[in-house]
Amino acid sequence: MSKALIVVDVQNDFADACGALAVPGAHEIVRPLAELAQEPGWAYVALTRDWHPPDHVSFAPNHGQLPFSSHTYHPPAGVRAPPQQGTLWPVHCVQGSWGAQLAPQLAAASIRAPHSVVDKGVWPDRECYSAFEDIWDDRRSDLDALLRSHGVEHVYVAGLALDYCVKSTAISAARLGYTTTILLDYTRAIATDAQSMARLSSDLAGHQVSLFEGAEPLP
């Protein structure tokens, strides 16, 4: 079974302690992820990036609100879908900024497999956690097409943050028919309390996403 590695949003704003939206413990996984991505045998490696325009709908200052405020996201014009409750975030991963760049050790990795950077969150009028599509599944990235062009059947998802973009990317992959595994040792979450993690595990299991803890056997 051909396998791909999807490394989600290991960028300075998430992985560096000085980043705008630093994930606790994120620095611990950067080197291991870079090493994992360099292993031979992957059919394809995707490095995803949040790549937001300055006027992105998820940025709290664009609404005159404080970061982490609750927010109702309304579908863009022409999209027939109900509003979704979500969160407003600090300004982060703005296109071309230091915070949007891949963490240096990952950016410098000599990846042997076919690989590419996949940008998400590029549309200003819609939130996007999954590396495959926006929250209304209205606009899609090239990730699914890239995986299929390399004959991928099983995707391993890692990166940042487990309870947001890693989770959403994994659920999308499973919905699209890929066998999907999250590598827990290669990801970190924002909410790490027992109740949040139990809820996350249950949600992922309900979407046929498996969790693997330990050194994942390489392809």
CATH of the domain at 181: 3.40.50.850
| Residue 189 domain-assigned (yes or no) | yes
DSSP 208: T
Q: Can you tell me the mean pLDDT for 22-49?
A: 97
| Residue 206 domain-assigned (yes or no) | yes
| Residue 10 domain-assigned (yes or no) | yes
Q: Tell me the backbone φ, ψ of residue 99, rounded to 5 degrees.
A: -65, -25
Q: Tell me the backbone φ, ψ of residue 195, rounded to 5 degrees.
A: -65, -45
| Residue 77 domain-assigned (yes or no) | no
| Residue 94 domain-assigned (yes or no) | no
Q: How many domains does the chain have?
A: 1
Domain containing 164 equals: 3-52+102-212
Q: Are strands 70-73 and 84-87 parallel, antiparallel or unpaired?
A: antiparallel
Q: Is the pLDDT of residue 219 over 80?
A: no
**Residues annotated as part of the active site:** 9, 120, 165
Q: What is the pLDDT of residues 65-90, one digit of tens each?
A: 999 999 999 999 899 999 999 999 99
| Residue 95 domain-assigned (yes or no) | no
| Residue 90 domain-assigned (yes or no) | no
| Residue 88 domain-assigned (yes or no) | no
- Write down the pLDDT at residue 1: 81
> In b/e form, how buried is each residue of 59-73, taking b as 16+ CB within 10 angstroms?
bbeeeeeeeeeebeb
